[in-house]
Amino acid sequence: MATGHLLDTKTVNLNDILGNGKIYRVPQFQRDYSWEQDNWEDLWNDIELAAETRTPHYMGSVVLQSSTGKEYLIIDGQQRFTTLTILTLAIIDAIQKLIEKGIEVEQNKERVDILMRQYIGQKDPTSLSYSSKLFLNENNDGFFQNRLVGFKDPINIRKLSDSEKLMWDAYVFFKLKISQRFTNNLGGDFASFLNNVAGELMMFIQITVEDELNAYTVFETLNSRGVELTSTDLLKNFLFSLVAKSETDLKQVKTQWKKIIDAVGLKEFPVFLRYFLVATRKQITKEYLFKEVKHFVKTGQDVFNLLDHLEFYAYNYIALGNDDDELWNTDKENRNAIGILRAFRVIQWKPLAMVALEKLNNAEFKRLLQSIVSLSYRYNVIAKMQTNEMEKVYSKAAINLFNGTSTNITAVLNDLKALYVADEDFKNYFSLKQFNTNNSADKKLLRYTLYKLEAQEEGGSLYDFETDSGTIEHILPESYPEAWHANFTEDEYDRNIFMLGNLTLLEAAKNNKEASDKIFSEKKEVYASSKFVQTKKIIDPQWTSQNIKSRQAHLAKIATSVWKIQY
């Protein structure tokens, strides 16, 4: 690769990669081998298809890092590199078995030697054993070199680690597939399958970069398998490398890293890391996570400081996404608020709440959470405004709280004012709101809305919208029966059936049996006996589009006091 190039991209096949005399290393702290039978099956089927059609098969991109041009770190692609090497070893083993049976002994010995040198590595003149072109991570390389490359069975399969067991199972899997495919005992057929099919027709886009920062940037913009997992590995490698000189420090960092990953999950970690940075440093997209971390983590002590913060916030992050988390066991109001925000499908508030759990007292945090519910209901559920601005505002509020610029709930709420939809605008949006009761997410939001309005109506009661047995009643029936055609044309029916003003709460028995699709005058008699005050108040002489509009305007006025933030 020419000096000064940030990256070099080219299309290569397996023969190009392994047949070029280069050495490939999986970074020391990269994740262990993890492919399973579904992955092996897919790879084998791809090779079989290529053999049948004689057409190349694209295997995705591999990202390599090299500053010397002689040795490469496998930033992305280790699972494919390792599995294809295991397949190669299985094919070579099949040829060795022919030698043991006395079949074309000299020719097959030569084939084994050529294939080993081409795909596996050179033979050491002293030990006469092959030195591998591929070196795996600290947990897998010993088994890979000593057992697989050495064609030795494990001493005790039950004692293998999970990743070692997967590598051994992959080897056994491919040996079986090869024995099923080739029954003629011709070493040339085995060699041809490896060299001319797997070697020539398995194609990759090889991206070579000069440093880990460029590797990370490349990988975040690729739409390939394992991107999120590998970006996490890349960050882990960087952090571990800063403390690797001390065995004690490295052991401590490994333990703490595992705690964090176990808490938030491997796939979820990049999201969590971004939320942490958004909450404590600046708004940032996922493409620049690694660059930002490298900007402020430069020493071993920086690593410990970062991991301490991540471990602390990891538990906050998980709790904020789960209303069943033990953190909410003693506070029903907070638990309900977390559940409601999940129903809203709003996430931009989480960075602020992560910090608030640390910086605010219980009463202030509760007030913040209730305010976020009101703000989100106005901004997201009813007004359906753009979410881009939300993250900026929440990030600024979180950073101010984290840095001590904001010291109390009043200051935090002031930072959120830009997202608060004014009463008059909120009423206007609310007056036009529809809830499609055929959509489960919409239906849950509708139940929440109607039950909150019920509690606010004069004489109304507070019921749990998730557990109460009340049902959604369409005053203008959803079935649009003929008796209603006089008051609603088909066009008016379509425009009004899901309007909030046409929807109310009603006991299940009354809804299914007594009200059902009856005319409005008969429905009113049922409504009069309902436990729900909002339903009792439906006493209009008739039910028309104008009545629906008027009722919705009335509910909009109530809503401004239900979902309100007191500054």
What pLDDT digit, counting tens, does each position of 496-516 carry? 999 999 999 999 999 888 888
Amino acid at 332: K
User: Are 278 and 391 contacting, i.e. CB atoms less than 8 angstroms apart?
Assistant: yes
CB 7 within 8 Å of CB 212:
no
Candidates 151, 11, 3; CA nearest to 67 is 3
Mean pLDDT of all residues in 376-380: 97
The whole-chain average pLDDT of the chain stands at 90
At 52, list the tokens: 């049948």
- pLDDT confidence band for 354 (50 / 70 / 90): very high
For position 203, what pLDDT does the model report?
Answer: 93
Q: What percent of the chain has pLDDT over 90?
A: 74
**Residue 229 binned pLDDT confidence (cut-offs 50, 70, 90):** very low
Label residue 329 by pLDDT band (50, 70, 90).
very high
Domain assignments of the chain as residue spans, ordered by start: 7-209, 226-320, 326-421, 429-562
Q: Comparing 171 with 4, which gets the higher pLDDT?
A: 171
pLDDT attached to residue 128:
57
Quote the pLDDT of residue 3: 41
Question: Using CA atoms, how far apart are residues 443 and 438, in angstroms rounded to an integer?
Answer: 7
Give the start-end residues of each E strand in 171-327.
202-209
Residue with tokens 């069943």: 324
Residue 366 buriedness (CB in 10 A; 0-12 / 13-18 / 19+): middle
Task: Name the nearest CA neighbour of 382 among 433, 348, 343.
Answer: 433
Span of 79-83, 217-221, 464-468, 563-567 with lowest mean pLDDT: 217-221
Residue 214 vs residue 249, higher pLDDT: 249
pLDDT at 97 over 90: yes
pLDDT digits (tens, 9 = 90+) for 245-283: 888 998 999 999 999 999 999 889 999 999 999 999 999
More confident residue, 132 or 314: 314
What's the mean pLDDT in 159-164?
93
Torsion of CA 42, 45, 51, 57, to 10 degrees: -30
Q: What is the mean predicted confidence (pLDDT) over 415-432?
A: 97
Which tens digit of pLDDT belongs to each residue from 447-489?
999 999 999 998 888 899 999 999 999 999 999 999 999 999 9
Q: In Å, what is the CA distance from 486 to each residue of 210, 349, 413, 520, 541?
A: 76, 48, 51, 12, 15
Q: What local confidence, expressed as pLDDT, does residue 418 receive?
A: 95
Q: How confident is the model at residue 22 (pLDDT cuts 50, 70, 90)?
A: confident
Task: Please give the torsion angle defined by the CA atoms of residues 217, 218, 220 and 226, in that order, rounded to the nearest 10 degrees.
Answer: -130
Residue 226 pLDDT: 43
> What are the structure tokens assigned to 461, written together?
């009661």
* pLDDT value, residue 217: 61
Place of tokens 């999950």: 265
- Please check the confidence at residue 344 and state whether its pLDDT lies above 60: yes
pLDDT in tens, 197-210: 999 999 998 988 87
Q: How many CB atoms lie within 10 A of CB 228?
A: 16
Q: How far apart are CA 335 and CA 352, in angstroms?
A: 17
Q: Place 6 in a pLDDT band, splitting at 50, 70 and 90.
A: low
